[in-house]
Structure 1
C-alpha cells in the first residue's frame, strides 16, 4: 500500500510539472522568452525617459509661457537637442525635439531622430501626448506614443507601443504601460523609473501575453534592478522572470518555468 501511495504521489507531481530543475530545452526556450520581454520593457523605459526630457506642466501657468521656458531649458541642459514651439490650434501647442545623434546621450540612453510633444488644454487641465515614432533609442526604433494628464486629477503617466520588436526579427509587440507613483517622488525626471504594464509578443511560434510589475530601472542600466515579468507562452508554459538587486549588475535573471525550481540565467542585451 505504501509503495502504491508513493507511486501515486510521483505521478501526481509529474502531472503538475514536478519539482527539481527544468529540462535544458525548457530553460533555453524560457531564456529566449525573457530576452524578448526584457527588450520590450527596455523600449518602454526609453519612451518614458524621452517624455521626462520636458518638465511636467505647472498647473496655473499659461501654456505657451511654460512651453517657451521648458524648450529653452532642454537646449541649455542638452546641447545635442534642438527645440521649437509650434502653435497647432487655439488649445494646442507642439514642442518638437530633434536629437543630433548618434552620440546624444541622455539618462544613460542614446537618442537620435525627432519627437513631437502636443500640449492640449489650459491652466486647470492639461493633456500631453508625445509621438516618438521618429525616434531611436540606443540605435533601435521606438514605435511608441507616451503622455500624461495633470491638473484637476492626480497626474498619470502612460505609454503605448505597437510595432516590430527591434533586434528580434519576426517579432511584433503591443504594450500598454504606466509609470508607478511614489509618495514624495516626482513621476518624471527622477533617477529611477518604476513600470507596470501588460502586452503581447507575437512571433513565429505564436503569441505570448506579457505582464510586468514594479520594474525598477536605474539610469544607464539595461536590466531592471528589481520587479517581475510574467509570460504566458503560445505553447502553454508560464515563464516568470524575477529581477533582483543581487543579480542585475551581473546581467542575470532568476527564471521560473511552470512549477519547476527557479534557475539563474544570463540575459544578453
Structure 2
C-alpha cells in the first residue's frame, strides 16, 4: 500500500522526490543563467573600480580628503595617473587616467579616463562617477557608480547597462548595491558583496533577475556565494545558487520551477 501511494504521489512531484527537469528546460535555463551571470559580472567590475578609492571619512574637509585620495590611489595602483580638480565651492573631482594596454587593476586590464566627483561637506558626502570612458579587458564598461555617506543614509551603488561582451544580440541592466556587512569593510581587499535587481535580454526574450548577496573573490569570474532568481520571459522561475563547492569548477546549481535541482557549467 505504501509503495502504491508513493508511486501515485510521484506524478505530482511531492515528497517522494521532485520531478526532474527535461533536457529542453535545462538548456533553456542554462542560456538564461549565462546572460544573468555575465550581467552581474559587469556590475561587479564597476564596483571594483569604485573600490580603488578610499571611502570618505566623515568630518574631514573635502579638499583635504581629495588630496589624500590622489596620493593614495597612485600607491595602490602604480600605473594610474590621479589628479585633483576643484570644480566649485562644494564640488571636487579626482580624475583617474589608465594607460592603454598595460594597467592591471584587480586582475583586469583597464584603460581610459574617468572623473570621480565628490559633492558635499563634512556632514554629507556624495560621490558619483561615469565609467563609460573606461575599457576593461578589451570591452567598454557601460556603468555609473557612486555612494552617499555620512548623515542619515549610507548607500553604495552601481547602474550598469548596455550590451553584453561576447553575447551577440544580448543586453542588460543591473542596479546593484554593495552589501553592508557588520564588522567587514565595504570594499575588502580580496572580496566584494553586492545585490540588487536587473534585467537581461537576448534571443529568448527579456528576463527579470534579482541578485542576492553575491560574494566575489578578486580574480574570479563566478561568485562563490549568493543567489539569483530569474523570472523568465516565458513565465518560469529559475533559482540559481552559487556555492564555494561549485564556483571553483565553473558551475552553479539551478532549480527550474521547483523541480529537482541540476548542476550546469557557466563559460566565461
Common fold: TM-score over 0.5? yes
Other structure's SS at 1:71 match: helix
In structure 2, C-alpha distance between the alignment counterparts of 1:87 and 1:207, rounded to whole Å? 43
What's 2:79 paired with?
Answer: 80
Shift of 1:39: 0.6
Change (3 A) 1:49 1:68: same
SS of residue in 1 equivalent to 2:70: helix
Aligned equivalent of 2:205: 206
Note the 1:61-210 alignment, pairs <5 A: 61-210=60-209
Query: Quick check: 1:126–1:149 contact (8 Å CA) kept in 2?
Result: yes
The runs of 5 or more residues in structure 1 that have no matched partner are none
- Secondary structure of 1:153's counterpart equals coil
Runs of 4+ with deviation above 6 angstroms: 4-8
Contact 1:108 1:221 in 2 (8 A): no
Match in the other structure for 1:52? 51
Distance 1:155 1:186 in 2: 14
CA distance in 2, matches of 1:217, 1:258: 27
Quote the Cα distance in structure 2 between the aligned partners of 1:33 and 1:205. Answer: 8
My pick for the range that moved more, 186-195 or 45-54, is 186-195
Query: In 1, Cα distance between the equivalents of 2:13 and 2:206?
Result: 28
Deviations 1:128-149 (A, max 9, x none): 0011111122222211111111
Offset of residue 8 of structure 1: 7.3
- Helix, strand or coil: the match of 1:185? coil
Per the TM alignment, residue 266 of structure 1 is displaced from its structure 2 partner at its CA by 1.1
- Report the CA distance between 1:189 and its aligned residue: 4.2
TM-score by length of 2: 0.91
Question: Which shifted more, 192-201 or 84-93?
Answer: 84-93
Q: In the alignment, which residue of structure 2 is the partner of 1:222?
A: 221
Alpha-carbon distance between aligned partners in 2 of 1:206 and 1:256, rounded to the nearest angstrom: 20
- Contact conserved, 1:140 with 1:167, CA < 8 A, in 2? no
Aligned-pair CA distance for 1:102: 2.3
The DSSP-based 3-state class of the residue aligned with 1:103 is: coil
Q: Distance in 2 between matches of 1:244 and 1:113?
A: 34
After TM superposition, give the deviation of residue 188 of structure 1 in Å.
2.2
TM-score (norm 1): 0.91
